[in-house]
Amino acid sequence: MSYYNLAITVTQLLTLYDRIYNWNPLLYINWYFMIKIRLDVDYAYPSRNRSLICTALRIRPKKGYLKNSKIIAKMVNETQQDVMVYWFFTPLTLPDQEMMDLMNSKLHEIALHVAVDPCKELETLEKLTNKKLRYYTIHGTERLLGRIIWRRKFGQTRVPIPENFPLQDFWDFPTFGLDKVCYDKPIKEVYKMTQESVMANKILHIHPDWLFRRGRINHRGAYYDVLKEILKVDSEIEDVLVRKKGFVKIGKYSEHFEYIRDVNPSEKLFDKLRDRDVDIFTFVERSWCSPLALKPPDKWIKNEDNIALLQINTFGEWWENIGKKTRNMVRKAEKSGVNAEVTKPSDILAEGIWQIYNETPIRQGRTFSHYGQSLESVRGMVFNTKNSIFINAYVKDELSGFIQLIFGDNLVVITQILSLQKHWDKAINNVMIAKAVEFCAKGNHTWLMYGRIGKGSSHPSLDKFKENNGFVRYPLNRYYVMLSKKGEIAVKLGLHKQFKDKMPEVLKPKIIPVYNFISRTKVKLLHRL
């Protein structure tokens, strides 16, 4: 039996096992076969419109040229996986010196993507790269616009190849269209399919222009997340979220997660963010447990931030330190039949949280963002959040409230605490906080965080609840690193700050009620319409 047929047989057996037992060993083992990737570099720029214009006019601006291809090449050079990449270039996407330097290893092989004239294009590419090519593919142009841009005959969707052409057609090898599958399938399913394809010795086929975005006409999807998992790279920016504010892009670790890990940014991280057009990167210094080992450069902007933090030694100590009123609230909840317990993710829990989300469109006097959320998305939150548990409160057998806790380095974060409004008279939130403190004390978790408090917060009543339960305002430093000229301009204009942080504290008592009124009114009008 050949190596290829053996791989096919193994893959089929594992797939059959998965269907019977709903567990696929492919998800839990390392790659045992080489990852082979084919890249058709059809267009030179991340922007589709820019690529089409530059192709039609036969121009090649330096800014952004082969940007996505260079990002992929860096990912390949960084990986520890056994990988081989075949780059197929057209005469309008010829590699520049930077791209050549990135492909200067045994992990990369240059090949020809025929556009119009196979022989002439082969000669040009071999002369430019000083390499003897082995493979070719043909750039397809099914649409009339594509044929016009590439200056082909109107009826010519594919260029004919001479019989004596010296290169081998790369379509002779089994291929898996990764970006095509990413168009309409979830990442987890695509990742599983990709693993099976590699085990079956198939070549992963992608186009650099769809690395981060989804095509509408071409029916191709963004495949960066899958490629990152396949190659096991870019862990530094795994949880970095990028949002656009005005004319700049600001990167930061996702909400709550930026507080559970130590961040000591490096130039490697900054380079990766620049590759993704991030202008400003922001992070917090976890000074309560691990202040920055390196002195921040003067060019970094430092602003004051804060969190609501509770230091836990024993449950008894916390119980004595909170006020009498809060202790009575916990006792009241217990007398009212409220039972709090620690649970793991489940479908029953997801359905209960979904019902709490959709009980009312207004909470704390303003629009509730989770109202109207689908059950499927709630399941995703419950099952996909890493390192988390839930504390649930029940009135009889009904889920009446929940807290989600996320565990980090020297910190546990309360990410959500919600309860049914119809049971608010039973002090459900108080008994859940008490259970969270008890859980942290037993697990030797010293620090418990509950969002912000005081300056920067926009919920005065919630701040009072935190203070009553022992949380104090802990000041910390937030740093802003400018990664581009646009980022420097944005910082000078104050665009890096949130509006609520720029608002004077004396104005908040007047502005917040107005904001809440507008928010409630908008929801009521939409509901009536």
pLDDT digits (tens, 9 = 90+) for 24-83: 554 444 434 799 999 999 999 999 899 989 999 999 999 999 999 999 999 999 999 999
Taken in order 440, 441, 447, 452, is the CA torsion positive or negative?
positive
Q: Is 219 left (phi over 0), alpha (psi -120 to 50) or beta?
A: left
67 domain-assigned: yes
- CATH number of domain containing 440: 3.40.630.30
345 domain-assigned: yes
Pair (117, 210) in one structural domain: yes
505 and 469 Cβ atoms separated by less than 8 Å: no
Pair (405, 486) in one structural domain: no
Pair (69, 113) in one structural domain: yes
Give first-to-last CA distance, the chain, whole Å: 68
β-pairing, 447-449 vs 411-419, is parallel
3 domain-assigned: no
CA 190 from chain centre, in angstroms, equals: 16
Task: Record the pTM.
Answer: 0.78
Q: Residue 519: pLDDT above 80?
A: no
Pair (75, 194) in one structural domain: yes
Q: How many domains does the chain have?
A: 4
66 domain-assigned: yes
456 domain-assigned: no
Pair (175, 254) in one structural domain: no
pLDDT for the residue numbered 3: 44
Task: Band the pLDDT of 239: cuts 50, 70, 90.
Answer: confident
Amino acid at 326: T
176 and 203 Cβ atoms separated by less than 8 Å: yes
CA 467 from chain centre, in angstroms, equals: 33
Range of the domain at 367: 313-445
Q: Residue 503: pLDDT above 80?
A: no
Alpha helix segments (H runs only) across 44-143: 48-57, 67-78, 97-102, 118-129
- CATH number of domain containing 203: 3.20.20
Average pLDDT estimate for 79-103:
96
End-of-domain residue from the set 445, 469, 495: 445
β-pairing, 108-114 vs 83-89, is parallel
Pair (38, 169) in one structural domain: yes
Q: Which two tokens stand for residue 208?
A: 């650099």
Lowest mean pLDDT among 17-31, 167-181, 279-293, 459-473: 17-31
142 and 49 Cβ atoms separated by less than 8 Å: no
- Whole-Å CA distances, 455 to 233, 307, 518: 38, 10, 23
Pair (59, 140) in one structural domain: yes
Q: Which two tokens stand for residue 422?
A: 């119809």
Pair (297, 336) in one structural domain: no
24 domain-assigned: no
Q: How far is it, in rounded angstroms, from Cα 420 to Cα 401?
A: 6
460 domain-assigned: no
Average pLDDT estimate for 499-504:
59
Strand partners, 244: 249
**Per-residue pLDDT tens digits for 378-431:** 998 999 888 899 999 999 889 999 999 999 988 999 999 999 988 888 999 999
Cα-flanking dihedrals φ and ψ of residue 256, to 5°?
Answer: 75, -40
How does DSSP assign 121-164, residue by residue?
HHHHHHHHHT----EEEE----SHHHHHHTT--TT-SS----TT
365 domain-assigned: yes
Pair (331, 208) in one structural domain: no
**DSSP code, position 246:** T
Amino acid at 402: F
Pair (526, 425) in one structural domain: no
3-state secondary structure at position 432: helix
Burial 270-300 (b: 16+ CB within 10 A, else e): bebbeebbbbbbbbbbbebeeebeeeeeeee
End-of-domain residue from the set 172, 199, 233: 233
Q: Residue 513: pLDDT above 70?
A: no
Pair (423, 529) in one structural domain: no
**Per-residue pLDDT tens digits for 149-204:** 888 776 666 788 999 999 999 999 999 999 999 999 989 899 999 999 999 999 99
Pair (87, 225) in one structural domain: yes
